[in-house]
Amino acid sequence: MMERPFTYRDNLLHVEDVALDSIARRAGTPCFVYSANGILGRYRAYDRAFGEQPHKVCYAVKANGNLAILGLLARAGAGFDIVSGGELFRVLKAGGASENVVFSGVGKTAEEVEYALEKGIHTFNCESETELSLIDALAARLGTRARISLRVNPDVDAATHPKISTGLREHKFGIDIHEAEEIYQRARWHQHLELEGVSCHIGSQLLKPEPLLDALDRVLSLVDRLRAKGIAIQHLDLGGGLGVPYRPTDDPPSIADYVARLKARTSHRNLKVMVEPGRSLVAESGVLLSRVLYRKVNAGKEFIILDAAMNDLIRPSLYEAHHEILPVKRDAGRGTVKADVVGPVCETGDYLALDREMANVLPGDLVAVATTGAYSFVMSSNYNARPRASEIMVAGNGWRVVRQRETFDDLVRGEMV
């Protein structure tokens, strides 16, 4: 397993070489703290595992679009998987190159397609025949040609939480793999499309590689059939999906093992292989740092009330997701407590953990909600008029704020009485 960027030194939780309490003192809480080397290490694990095989690792921007993270990955040579015009804007702003961008998503608007065509992105991963026609028409108007993949739905069960599973026939995503051949055939008549690739993405937080490999086998046989018909498929985009250990007992395949298994199936086929990892690049390199405000007992039940809430991290409420909650100062003498860990938002559903056996933290103590580098800040909101948390990047023994905490003025920007 890859080294974790968060470790205890003298019972004090550190990110790389920086103690979290020193960040809290200067930057306040709640805040997200990321490890630059943790993120880079995981990107390089993908990149190195592919080795000589033609490949591109396209970071799924939706997992965490902070400019500092995008910039870090762009400089390391990553490509990007985007799902909106806003994400393309972020990538370009961070110094990413448009020719390394793939555009996924089931509902691209004409404005977004035009923007992406003007910037000259690598590929559109298309999800319907009408979308193909739209891209063709807009490319014609701009006097250009668009590189296209069809996102096919291989109909495999990703065996993950239903809200983050995408690869079954009845889902809204992709095109039924059995209809794909005919659609590719018809798409050849579009003069402003280049049919270069096939793509798929079956779901997220997969702890076993088998569904991903099953999907790959089905997509490879489609590639063979398309090539036999004279459609010169050059790349295969397998999407994201590799899971991370949210619980100490979770045991996902390592990035190196997963890529080795992809390579074993693809290296002899004259195909460029692309992947779109989001979570597995960034989740483990982030924590949500928060302070305990109160303790209380209601009807015999212990509550730990934090200054972070569901508006900062909605995954527990939305997906029953588990995030470890670690004391920033470890003190064995304090013992443990079984408690609901909740925030200040006025909803019963506002919790970060339920019935959790954890360190017996007291008001004023700091806690780190672990594995929150992915799908955490990006899904945060201003609910209850709570300014969004700041974001901080650590590298070695240095750190800096990479997104300021929102102010009350930020809360009302654009509104009028």
> Could you list the active site residues?
346
Structure tokens at 119: 């910037």
3-state secondary structure of 70: helix
Report the sign of the C-alpha dihedral through residues 128, 134, 137, 139, in that order.
Answer: negative
CA gap 336, 9 in Å, rounded:
20
3-state secondary structure of 176: strand
Structure tokens at 13: 């939780």
In the DSSP assignment, the letter for residue 253 is P
Instruction: Rank residues 30 and 278 by Cβ distance to ligand LLP and give the closer one.
Output: 278
CB of 166 to ligand LLP, least distance (A): 6
Instruction: Rank residues 56 and 315 by Cβ distance to ligand LLP and give the closer one.
Output: 315
Instruction: Rank residues 20 and 60 by Cβ distance to ligand LLP and give the closer one.
Output: 60
Could you check whether the bond before residue 30 is cis, i.e. omega within 30 degrees of 0? yes
CB of 320 to ligand LLP, least distance (A): 11
Residue nearest to ligand LLP (CB): 240
How many Cβ atoms are within 10 Å of 4's Cβ, its own excluded?
Answer: 13
CA gap 149, 236 in Å, rounded:
8
Q: What is the CA radius of gyration of the chain?
A: 23
CB of 33 to ligand LLP, least distance (A): 19
Q: How many helices (H) and strands (E) would you count in the chain?
A: 12, 21
The contacts of residue 38 (CB under 8 Å, 6+ apart) are: 4, 5, 16, 284, 285, 373
In the DSSP assignment, the letter for residue 242 is B
CA gap 335, 339 in Å, rounded:
13
Instruction: Rank residues 109 and 336 by Cβ distance to ligand LLP and give the closer one.
Output: 109
Q: Which residues bind ligand LLP (CB under 6 A)?
A: 60, 63, 81, 104, 164, 201, 204-205, 239-242, 276-280, 315, 319, 375
3-state secondary structure of 79: strand
CB of 340 to ligand LLP, least distance (A): 21
Instruction: Rank residues 151 and 190 by Cβ distance to ligand LLP and give the closer one.
Output: 151
Instruction: Rank residues 18 and 175 by Cβ distance to ligand LLP and give the closer one.
Output: 175
Instruction: Rank residues 163 and 330 by Cβ distance to ligand LLP and give the closer one.
Output: 163
Contact in structure between 310 and 395 (CB atoms under 8 Å): no
Residue 374 one-letter amino acid: A
CB of 9 to ligand LLP, least distance (A): 30
Give the up-direction half-sphere exposure of residue 320: CA atoms within 13 A in the CB hemisphere.
5
CB of 280 to ligand LLP, least distance (A): 6
Percent of the chain that is helix, strand, coil (3-state, to 5): 35, 30, 40
